Amino acid sequence: MAKTRTQVAIIGAGPAGLLLGQLLHNVGIDSIILEARDRVYVENRIRAGVIEHGSAQTLIEAGVGARMQREGLIHHGIELLFQGQRHRIDFQALTGKYVTVYGQHEIVKDMIAARLATSRPLHFEVENVLLLDIESDAPRVIYRKDGVEHEITCDFIAGCDGFHGISRDAFPKGAITGYEKTYPFAWLGILAEAPPAGEELVYAQHERGFALFSMRSPTITRLYLQVEPDEDPANWPDDRIWEELHRRLETRDGWRLNEGKIIQKGVTAMRSFVAEPMRHGRLLLAGDAAHIVPPTGAKGMNLAIADVRRLSQALQAFYGRASQQGIDEYSPQCLKRIWKAQQFSGWMTSLLHCFQEDSMFERKRQSALLDYVVNSRAAATGLAENYVGLPYEETLSE
203 belongs to the catalytic site: yes
**pLDDT tens-digit series, residues 16-54:** 999 999 999 999 999 999 999 999 999 988 777 899 999
Look at residue 398 and tell me whether its pLDDT is greater than 60: no
Is the CATH number 3.30.470.20 carried by domain 2-76+99-179+271-356? Answer: no
For residue 45, the model assigns a pLDDT of 84
pLDDT digits (tens, 9 = 90+) for 315-346: 999 999 999 999 999 999 999 999 999 999 99
pLDDT-derived band at 394 (thresholds 50, 70, 90) equals low
Question: Is the peptide bond preceding residue 277 cis, with omega within 30 degrees of 0?
Answer: yes
Answer whether 0.85 is exceeded by the pTM.
yes
Q: Is residue 295 annotated as a catalytic residue, yes or no?
A: yes
How far is the C-alpha of 37 from the C-alpha of 42, rounded, in Å? 7
Examine the pLDDT at 385 and tell me if it is beyond 70. yes
- Answer whether 5's CB lies under 8 Å from 152's CB: yes
Give the pLDDT of residue 363.
Answer: 87
Query: Does residue 63 have a pLDDT over 50?
Result: yes
Please determine, for residue 397, whether its predicted confidence score (pLDDT) is greater than 60: no
Q: Which residue among the candidates 25, 75, 150, 291 is catalytic per the annotation?
A: 75
Q: What HEC string does the chain produce?
A: CEEEECCEEEECCCHHHHHHHHHHHHCCCCEEEECCCCHHHHHCCCCCCEECHHHHHHHHHHCCCHHHHHHCEEECEEEEEECCEEEEEEHHHHHCCCEEECCHHHHHHHHHHHHHHHCCCEECCCEEEEEECCCCCCCEEEEEECCEEEEEECCEEEECCCCCCCCHHHCCCCCCEEEEEEEEEEEEEEEEECCCCCCCCEEEECCCCCEEEEEEECCEEEEEEEECCCCCHHHCCHHHHHHHHHHHHCCCCCCCCCCCEEEEEEEEEEEEEEEECCEECCEEECHHHCEECCHHHCCHHHHHHHHHHHHHHHHHHHHHHCCCHHHHHHHHHHHHHHHHHHHHHHHHHHHHCCCCCCCHHHHHHHHHHHHHHHHCHHHHHHHHHHHHCCCCCCCCCC
**75 is known as an active-site residue:** yes
Rg (CA), the chain: 22
Q: Would you say 192 and 259 are in contact if contact means Cβ atoms under 8 Å apart? A: yes
Tell me the mean pLDDT in the region 352-365: 86
| Residues 145-190: tens digit of each pLDDT | 999 999 999 999 999 999 999 999 999 999 999 999 999 999 999 9
Amino acid at 316: Q
pLDDT for res 356:
76
15, 196, 294, 295: the catalytic one is: 295
Give 103's Cβ-side CA count (13 Å radius).
18
Residue 262, Cβ neighbours under 10 Å: how many? 18
Active site residue 143: no
- Distance in angstroms (rounded) separating the CA atoms of residues 223 and 188: 8
The pLDDT score that the predictor gives to residue 395 is 54
224 is catalytic: no
pLDDT of residue 327: 98
Set 25, 53, 206, 299: catalytic member = 299
Taking the C-alpha atoms of residue 349 and residue 336, their distance in angstroms, rounded to an integer, is 20
The one-letter amino acid at 323: S
Catalytic residue among 143, 183, 203, 224: 203
Upper half-sphere CA count for residue 42 (Cβ side, 13 Å): 26
